[in-house]
Amino acid sequence: MQNKEDYRAIEARYYMPAFARDLMIVRGEGSRVWDADGKEYIDCVAGIAVCSTGHCHPAVTRAICEQAKRLIHCSNLYYVPGQAELAQKLVEKTGMAKAFFSNSGAEATDGALKLARVRTGRKKFVAFTHGFHGRTIGSLAVTHKPAIREPFEPLGISKTFVEYGDIDGLRKVVDSDTAGVVVEPIQGEAGVIIPPDSFLHGIREICDESGALMIMDEVQTGMGRTGKWLAIQHAGVKPDIVMLAKGIASGFPMGALLAREGLEFRRGEHGSTFAGGPLACAAALATFGVIDEILPTVSEKGERFCNALSKYAPRARGLMVGMTVGDRCAEVQKRCAENGVLVNCAADGNLRLVPPLVITNAEIDRACSVLKDALG
């Protein structure tokens, strides 16, 4: 293994500097990772809510290795092993009607925008302030943060941003040419911002009245992260389209689009070389099995974080926990890392904890004690 300083120099010379980073993680097991110097961390980042089954869960690793020996790729020109079974499982757990796979969250968003346009025949979208939906041209168009979007405008998609939570504002801008309203049930990149259920019910109502589609971005909140398969299930609202990605295959790149009855791509309308390939489906099917088992424990574990951190007014649903820390966020993140706990600063000084769903009570207690120390 190269030492980090040598590695840093090679990267500086040959890799585009789009990321600010410091640690070099070389190994993981369960909720723990090790850096290049052998230092151990409790991982409350989990690849940003990706490694829900923990790092290298034996069932997931086994499924990937066994599939890699049988068939790595075959193309969507043919039936793909695992693809239909995975679609069936996702549909059954979410109450949606059909699935379609992609390679990432951004691509799932792009697929949702395409599906909404082609089935409604309408052009425009509405999204929300502080919302994040991805970095491709299409998904970036409905992502709010001006600093990451504006340098790339025009993005060719007509959209309006409404204050997250503002139902009256939404009612004013949705009209008969609105194809869809794109929304996160809990805003993740914004720092775990949890709206009242009435906001989600209100969007459903406005979409029903106007014929716009309710497009629910569950890329971060889905796959058990909040204690249910979808976060929107807490509110009892049925969206028209759902996007999934991060937690779906334990770190193997994959995304998914789920849609209600009557909404589907017809032959030739959408496609992808890699999406829903045999390896991704094998990883996702194994992930699905693990999550199905641990899902009942997720809410309790979230509460354990909240109880330990109650002094700092945490916001949480399941194992998606946020706290407003302010200007000190980066410093707190650094101190936690020094003391063996990985946490992440999302937007606006909001600390975000999205550990593996398999994290143990002992690991939660240890992480919280380090956090409290860093927060003071």
Ligand X SMILES: *Cc1c(COP(=O)(O)O)cnc(C)c1O
The yes or no reply on residue 344 touching ligand X (CB under 6 A) is no
Among 110, 184, 240, 363, binds ligand X (CB under 6 A): 184
**Which is nearer to ligand X, 80 or 249 (by Cβ)?**
249
**Separation of alpha carbons 227 and 235, rounded Å:** 13
**Separation of alpha carbons 242 and 183, rounded Å:** 10
**Separation of alpha carbons 108 and 114, rounded Å:** 10
Least distance from ligand X to the Cβ atom of residue 317, Å:
14
Q: Which among 182-190, 197-205, 222-230, 275-283 is the span making contact with ligand X, rule CB under 6 A?
A: 182-190
The yes or no reply on residue 183 touching ligand X (CB under 6 A) is no
Q: Which among 23-31, 128-136, 276-284, 319-327 is the span making contact with ligand X, rule CB under 6 A?
A: 128-136
Per-residue x/- marks for ligand X, 130-169, CB under 6 A?
--xxx-----------------------------------
Helices (H), 211-324: 278-308
Closest by alpha carbon to 173, among 181, 165, 183?
A: 181
Which segments within 78-167 are labelled E, that is strand?
A: 98-102, 124-128, 159-162
Q: In Å, what is the CA distance from 58 to each residue of 53, 131, 289, 310?
A: 10, 35, 12, 34
Among 47, 54, 180, 188, binds ligand X (CB under 6 A): 188
Q: Phi then psi for 126, rounded to 5 degrees?
A: -120, 135
Least distance from ligand X to the Cβ atom of residue 4, Å:
25
**314 in Cβ contact with 192 (< 8 Å):** no
Inter-helix orientation angle 278-308/83-94, to 10°: 30
**Which is nearer to ligand X, 133 or 159 (by Cβ)?**
133
The yes or no reply on residue 220 touching ligand X (CB under 6 A) is yes
The yes or no reply on residue 106 touching ligand X (CB under 6 A) is yes
Burial per residue of 256-281, b for 16 or more beta-carbon CB atoms within 10 angstroms, e otherwise: bbbbbeebbbeeeebeeebbbbbbbb
Per-residue x/- marks for ligand X, 199-218, CB under 6 A?
------------------x-
The number of residues that bind ligand X (CB under 6 A) is 15
Inter-helix orientation angle 361-375/329-338, to 10°: 130
Angle at 292 between CA 290 and CA 293, to 5 degrees: 70
Q: Which among 127-135, 166-174, 298-306, 368-376 is the span making contact with ligand X, rule CB under 6 A?
A: 127-135
**Which is nearer to ligand X, 180 or 188 (by Cβ)?**
188
Least distance from ligand X to the Cβ atom of residue 36, Å:
25
Peptide bond into 154 cis (omega under 30): yes
Least distance from ligand X to the Cβ atom of residue 106, Å:
3
Angle at 167 between CA 165 and CA 173, to 5 degrees: 115
Angle at 174 between CA 170 and CA 176, to 5 degrees: 165
Least distance from ligand X to the Cβ atom of residue 220, Å:
3
Least distance from ligand X to the Cβ atom of residue 3, Å:
29
**Which is nearer to ligand X, 105 or 278 (by Cβ)?**
105
Inter-helix orientation angle 361-375/278-308, to 10°: 60
Among 174, 193, 207, 219, binds ligand X (CB under 6 A): 219
> For 144, what's the count of Cα atoms within 13 Å in the CB-facing half-sphere?
20
Positions 228 through 267 that interact with ligand X (CB under 6 A): 245-246
The yes or no reply on residue 47 touching ligand X (CB under 6 A) is no
**Which is nearer to ligand X, 134 or 278 (by Cβ)?**
134
Among 189, 224, 241, 284, binds ligand X (CB under 6 A): 189
Positions 86 through 105 that interact with ligand X (CB under 6 A): 104-105
Which positions touch ligand X (CB under 6 A)?
104-106, 109, 132-134, 184, 188-189, 217, 219-220, 245-246
